[in-house]
Amino acid sequence: MSFASRLSVIARTAPNKNALLGRLLRWQAIALLLLITSVCVTLYFGLVTQSSWIDDQTMEKRYLTVRSILNSENERDIWLAHEVSEDMEGPRRIFVRVLLDGAVLQETPDMSAVLPSEALPRMRANQEVARGFVTSGAGRRFRVMVAEAPVVMNGAPRTAVTQIAIDTTLDEMVLRRFEAMTVIVAILALAAAALLSALQFARLLEPLERMTRDIGKIDPNRLNTRIETTGMTDELAALGGQFNAMLDRLNHAYQGLRQYADNVAHEIRTPLNKLILGLNVAEQKPRSPEEYEALVGQLSENCRELSTLVERLLFLARVSSGQTGIRRQLVDVQIEAETIGDLYSASASDAGVRLTVTPGESVAVSADRALLQRAITNLVSNAIAHTPAGGEVRLSAWQAGDAAVIEVSDTGEGIAPADLPFVFDRFYRADPGRTSSGRVGLGLPIAKSIVDLHDGTISLERAPGGGACARIALPVAGARATVRREETAGAI
């Protein structure tokens, strides 16, 4: 971005109270104003204090000289008049008055007219020196000092009071010039700092504006677009990296949703086409009651198939959206395994598969009984479907530490390593050619959704002796849990 472009951005966004650049500039201006003001005030009062200190030192020296003269019999008459009249000209006139026992012994000419004795501070009890400021009748300001010291004259002790005043007109002139110079320098410094800060802020915010433009170009057809983070600050680079990671997740979810929608349409179309085909056949010519009865049975089977598919899709949709609640109760997984074994023994026999349930001790979990049964039956039916005649499906349950493990293994065809990462994806089938009734690739995803609802884990792997092995691990209900130590070593 060029210098002119940055100035244009500054002019456009700085007045906007909600713009980041405008807020940064306002806070920067406030900070600079406070800093410059504090420095200028400190310098000003430092200069005032220094001027007063210099005046005090000058008056202190003059006082010591006058006191020395007063205590000298030989020099008093010769030098006292000269000393009090030494600085009568110039912008920094010094007035000196010497009082002896309350009477004026010597003073600077015209001092009585400018600063009468009663206009100066009075000495308080036990006070040796009094200092302050006095304004004359003409409006001129003086720094004054009044000091008392004993002197000896003609062998007798006397009390002498020295009043000294310095015209501060020159000091005030210097201070006024300093004030004017300070204001000018402060304004110039504030303007220059604000301009440089605005240019720097605009340069630092360029990547943010570029990021905003790039994000604005992203739509569902351009989810592969990524934010370029080169040259950004660490914070913006981290933000851009997180946004790119979010785009990766969105793109993955979007592609999955598209594939899911295609799969749903494909799977629903099959039973619908069967229904339409059956109805079309029935419309072609009159048929006997027996033929109509067979046709109605076929159409009823197609409707049940379609209803089952829709019910499974709705279940997965409710789980994904968090709308499925679970009614927990204490469930003995060993008893559930035996019940499911009895339920599927007939189906296994029809398929020529031996279904065995390994006996074990009671293991209690807090779960929704119906959902847990559904997850286990999905695994069992999946194992039976993929085990050839003469094979075996084994169902077992045990406790391993704080987890109740339910395992379904088979001696079937197994699963290829390339298919393992996708077995829990919806509508995924390792063998796309297998289109047996009711098997559309939703059994394992439903089982995983149920296990996730119960804060458990599920896995599917190749069995060491061939076939597949599916395991569910659920947290044990501690009050009812028992540990079978002899079986723990082989658990997950």
Mean pLDDT, to the nearest integer, of 327-356? 90
pLDDT at 166 over 70: yes
Q: Where are the domains of the chain?
A: 3-47+175-216, 75-168, 234-320, 329-488
pLDDT at 17 over 80: no
Q: Which residue has the higher pLDDT, 20 or 483?
A: 20
Fold match between domain 234-320 and domain 329-488: no
Query: Which amino acid would we find at residue 295?
Result: L
Alpha helices in 232-368 (DSSP H): 234-284, 289-320, 333-350
The whole-number pLDDT of residue 492 equals 28
Ramachandran quadrant class, 63 (left: phi over 0; alpha: psi -120 to 50; beta: rest): alpha
Complete edge-to-edge strand list for the sheet that includes strand 129-135: 103-107, 94-100, 156-167, 141-153, 129-135
Range 234-320 classified under CATH 2.60.40: no
Q: What percent of the chain has pLDDT over 70?
A: 83
**117-148 pLDDT per residue, tens:** 888 888 776 777 888 888 887 788 899 999 88
Residue 63 CB contacts under 8 Å (≥ 6 apart), including other chains: 145, 147, 162, 164
Q: 329-488 adopts what CATH topology?
A: Heat Shock Protein 90 (3.30.565)
pTM summary value: 0.48
Most confident of 43-52, 222-231, 435-444, 472-481: 43-52
The CATH code that applies to domain 75-168 is 3.30.450
Query: Residue 169: in which H helix or E strand, if any?
Result: helix 169-216
Mean pLDDT of the chain: 79
**243-255 pLDDT per residue, tens:** 888 888 888 777 7
pLDDT at 489 over 60: no
pLDDT at 158 over 50: yes
Mean pLDDT, to the nearest integer, of 409-432? 72
pLDDT at 104 over 70: yes
pLDDT at 273 over 70: yes
Q: Which residue has the higher pLDDT, 127 or 354?
A: 354
Q: Can you tell me the distance from the alpha carbon of 349 to that of 343, in angstroms, rounded to the nearest whole number?
A: 11
Residue 89 CB contacts under 8 Å (≥ 6 apart), including other chains: none
The whole-number pLDDT of residue 359 equals 87
Q: Can you tell me the distance from the alpha carbon of 482 to that of 27, in angstroms, rounded to the nearest whole number?
A: 66
Q: Can you tell me the distance from the alpha carbon of 244 to that of 267, in angstroms, rounded to the nearest whole number?
A: 34
